A and B are shown apart, each in its own frame.
Chain A
Amino acid sequence: MTSLTGTGGLIRFILRRDRFLLPVWIVFFGAIPAALAPGITEVWPTQADRDAAVGLIENTPAFTALLGRVFDSSIGGLVAWRGSMMPVLLGIVTAVTVIRHTRTDEEAGRRELLGSTVVGRQAGLTAALVVVTLASLATGALAAASMIGQDEAVAGSLLLGAQYAAGGVVFAAVAAVCAQLTRGAGSARGMFFLVLGAAFALRMTGDLDPDATWATWASPVGWLQQLQPYADDDWAVLALPAAATLLLTAAAFLLQSHRDVEAGVLPTRLGRAEAGPGLSHPTGLAWRLQRAGLLGWSIGFAALGLMLGSMVDGVQDMLDSSEFMQQVIMQMGGSDEITEAFIASMLGILGLVAAGYGIQAALKPRAEETGLRAEQLLATGVSRLGWTTGHLLFAYLGPAVVMAAGGVTMALSYGAVVDDFGTAVSQVAAGLAVQLPAIWVLTGLAVLLFGLAPRLLGLTWVALTLCLVFGQLGAALRLPQWALDLSPFTHIPQIPGEDPRLTPVLWLVGVAAAMTVAGLAGFRRRDVG
C-alpha cells in the first residue's frame, strides 16, 4: 500500500458529500464576470464615458484600497477591476473546503476510521486538493467562456478565467499548510484568514503607496491583480501563484508525513492537575474555549486598523498630486469628505469581517454538541440556556471587542495623519458602533438556525458571503433594491459622512433580538445531539 492508496475512493466520497455545494459555487463564481458586464455597459455606454470613469476610479482611494487599480478602460478591463475581489472569495471557499475535508474530518475521528481501511496517509489531503483544483479550473473555464460569449477579447477572457482558477488553487494550498500546522479546524481556519488578511493588506499598501510596489509582489492577492487581464495580459505572472501552489502543497505533504494522525506540528504541553476557580460555571468554560480565538482576532484587527488608518496618508498624497482630483474634490465638498468616505468604507469592511468572528463564536455551541461534549455538560446541573449564554456572550460582545481593538489602532494612526485625534476617535467610534447591529443580525441568524434547524447552520456563512457580494457588487450587478435590502449592512448609515440615523439601527437590533429569542426557545425544545 502506498501513501496515496484509496485517493480515488476518497475523491468520490468528497464529491458525494459536496454534490450540492460544489456545483453551486462553481456556477456562482463562474457567472459573476458575465453578470457584471451588462451593468458596466449600461452605466458607461461609450469608450469616452469609460475613460472618464477610469480617471475617477484611479483617483478614488477607497476604490483603490478595496478593489485595487484599474488597468484598462475596456468593458473587460472594468469587469476585471469591479470583480477583482471574486477570485479571492473563490480562494476562501476552496480553502474552507480543504480544511473541512482534512482537519475537520480528522478532528471528528473520521480520518482515523478511514485511515484504518485501505487508504494511504496522504490520500485525504490529495483527494481534497484534487477536488478543489478541478473545481477551480471549472470555475475559471466558465468565467472565460461566458466572457468570450459576450464578445470580449479572447486572450483577456482566458486570462480572467486563469485569474479565478489561480485564486482558487493558491489559497487552497495555503489552507492545506494551515491544516497541517494546527490541531483544530477552527484554528486552521483562523490561521488561514490571518494569512489572507496579510496578503490583502499588502496588496492595498502596494496600490496606495507608489513607493511600496514590493508589497504588491509579496502578496498572492497582488499576483492575481497583476495578471492584468484585458490590459497587459501578463501571462508570465501566472508563474508566481503556480510556483507558490507547488511549494505550499509540497510543504503540506511533507508536514503531514512527519506528524501523527490528529496531532499538529506545534507541540502540546501538560496542563494543570486541578481546575482553577473560573472553571465552575459554563461561562468560565466558554471563556476557556473562546479566549484564544478572541485574542487572535483582536490582534489581527489591531494590525488591520493600524494599517488602514495610516493609509489615509497615502490617500491624501494621491488627492494632492492630481489636478483632476482637485476639481472633483471641490465639487464633492472638499478633501475631508473624500477622506471620510475612505474611512467609512474601511469601517464597513471591518464590520463585515467582524461579523465573521461573531458567526464563528455563535457556531461554537453546535460544534460542542456534534462533538458530543455538550451532552456531558447538559447532564449536569447546567440548564440549556445557561450553557448557551456563555458562548453567546462571545458571539454578541466579541465582535465589539474585536472591532474596538481595530478601532483604537485605526483612530490613533488616522489621528496622527490628520493631526486631530479628537475627530479621528469620535468618527471611528461612531462608524464602528453602527456596524454592531448589522453584525448582530447575522449572529442572530446563527442562533435562530441553531435552535430551529441546526443542520442548516452552514447557511449563516452563505448569508455572510451574500452580504459581502451584495455590498461590493450589488449595484454593479443591477440587483433590485429589495435584494440589496436583505443585507443588514445595506441599512446602516455611512459614518463618518452621513448623519447617524437611529431608526434603521434600532430595527436591526430588534430583528437580531427576535431571532435570538426564537432560536433559544427552539433550542430549549429540541433534541440535543
Chain B
Amino acid sequence: MEHAITTKNLAKRFGSTHALDGLNLQVAKGEVHGFLGPNGAGKSTTIRILLGLLRADSGEARLLDGDPWRDAVTLHRRLAYVPGDVNLWPSLSGGEVIDLLGRLRGGLDPKRRAELLDRFDLDPRKKGRTYSKGNRQKVALVAALASDVELLLLDEPTAGLDPLMEAVFRECIVEERDRGRTVLLSSHILSEVEALCDRVSIIRSGRIVESGTLTQLRHLTRTSIRAELTGSPDGIADLPGVHDLVVEGDRVSFEVDTPRLNDTLTRLVGIGVAGLTSRPPTLEELFMRHYSDDVAGAGK
C-alpha cells in the first residue's frame, strides 16, 4: 500500500509539554483518514509539522514522498490546508482570499469555485472582518476544495458549520475521495468520521493508541447482548469476557468483549435461546473508552 503520509517516532516538545511523544501515523494514498483524539492530544501539532510550520525535535515524517520541512514549498503546491480557526484579512473580501490562496497553490478551477460558492451559499464580496465564524470556515474550505491538489489536510474543518453546511461538506469530501484524493480529517464529530472515513487513528498524549478501519476498532471493544433463555442462566457470569451481567428471571443482559462473542454465543445456544438482540458498540462508547484515562495503560 502506498502512503501519502508516514511518521516514525515523531516527537515535539513545547517547553516542558510533550506535545508529540513518538507518533507513528500512516495514511494511505486515496483514503479518507480520520484523526481523532481528546483536546490537546497533539492533532494540530502533527498537522503543523506535516506542513513544515513546526520542526519536529526527533523522528521522521514523510509527506507525498518528500520531507515536510525541507521540501515545504514544492509539497505545498500539491496539498491544501484548512485550519480549525480560520482568521481572514479584515480588508480582503472572501472572494479575494479564495483566489489568493488558490493562486499561491498553483491555480484553481473557476468553474469548481463558482459551484462551491453556490453550494456553500457564500457571498464572496463580504470583507474578512464581517464574516461569521462559519462563513470564515467556508472561505477556507472553498479555497481548498477548488484547488487541484492530491492531499487535503483538514484540522477540524467543520467546527463552525451549521448542519446543512456540514452535509454539503460531507458530499464534497465523498467527491474528493472519488477523485482519488487523500484526506486527513481531524475531527471531534463522530458521526462525521463514521460517515466519511475509511480508516481512523486515535491519538492520545502525543501517541497513536489505535489505528484501523472502524470495523477493526469495533472489534476491539464490547458488544451488548440481551437474551431470553429457555434454561438456567447460571454460569454465564463466569464466562471469560462477560461484563455487567443483569439477570431478571429468564432474561439476561450483559456486555461481552467482541473477540469472545463466538464462545459466548455457543454457550448461550447450549442453554437454549428464545430471543436475542445484539448491538455493536456505538462510536461514542468506542471513543469514550479510548479517550478516558483507564485505557492509556491498557492500550499498551
A interface, CB within 8 angstroms of B:
183-184, 262, 268-276, 279-282, 285, 288-289, 292, 371-373, 375-383, 525-529
Contact = CB atoms under 8 A, between A and B. Distances in A.
Given A271-B95, A380-B76, A373 B104 contact: no
Interface stretch (B46-54, B211-219, B251-259): B46-54
A273 B95 CA distance: 5
Interface in B67-104: 72-74, 76-77, 79-81, 83, 85-93, 95-96, 98-101, 103-104
B90 A528 contact: no
B29 interface: no
Interface stretch (B123-131, B167-175, B237-245): B123-131
A375 B51 CA distance: 9
A271 B48 contact: no
Contacts of A372: 83, 85, 87
B73 A383 contact: yes
Given A375-B51, A381-B104, A527-B54, A279 B96 contact: yes
Contacts of A377: 101, 104
B53 A375 contact: yes
A529 B103 contact: no
B105 interface: yes
12 contacts: A184-B90, A274-B99, A275-B103, A279-B103, A288-B89, A375-B81, A378-B53, A381-B105, A381-B106, A525-B55, A527-B55, A529-B54
A380 B143 CA distance: 11
Contacts of B85: 372
Given A376-B81, A379-B76, A268 B127 contact: yes
A457 B103 CA distance: 31
Interface in B100-148: 100-101, 103-106, 124-127, 129-130, 140
A151 B77 CA distance: 72
A288 B92 contact: yes
A249 B87 CA distance: 31
Contacts of A383: 72-73
Nearest to A375: B53
Contact of B100 (A262, A279, A381): A279
A272 B93 contact: yes
**Which of A271, A375, A380 has most chain B Cβ within 10 Å?**
A380
Interface size class of B (residues with CB under 8 A): 35 or more
A296 to B, nearest CB: 14
A383 B71 CA distance: 10
B27 to A, nearest CB: 17
Interface of B: 48, 51-55, 72-74, 76-77, 79-81, 83, 85-93, 95-96, 98-101, 103-106, 124-127, 129-130, 140, 153
B54 A271 contact: no
B95 A272 contact: yes
B86 to A, nearest CB: 8
A270 B126 contact: yes
B152 to A, nearest CB: 11
A282 B72 CA distance: 16
B75 to A, nearest CB: 9
Nearest to B75: A381
B105 A275 contact: no
Contacts of B72: 378, 383
Given A289-B91, A529-B48, A268 B105 contact: no
Contacts of A292: 91
7 residue pairs, one from A and one from B, having the closest CB atoms: A271-B93, A275-B99, A380-B104, A379-B81, A275-B96, A381-B77, A280-B103
Given A279-B96, A371-B87, A376-B140, 4 more contacts: A273-B124, A274-B96, A376-B81, A380-B101
B54 A528 contact: yes
A527 B57 CA distance: 11
A183 B89 CA distance: 12
A311 B197 CA distance: 74
B293 to A, nearest CB: 28
A379 B53 contact: yes
A376 B76 contact: no
Given A375-B83, A378-B53, A529-B53, A273 B105 contact: no
A121 B103 CA distance: 41
A272 B96 contact: yes
A380 B102 CA distance: 8
A528 B53 contact: yes
A184 B80 CA distance: 29
A273 B127 CA distance: 10
Contacts of A526: 55
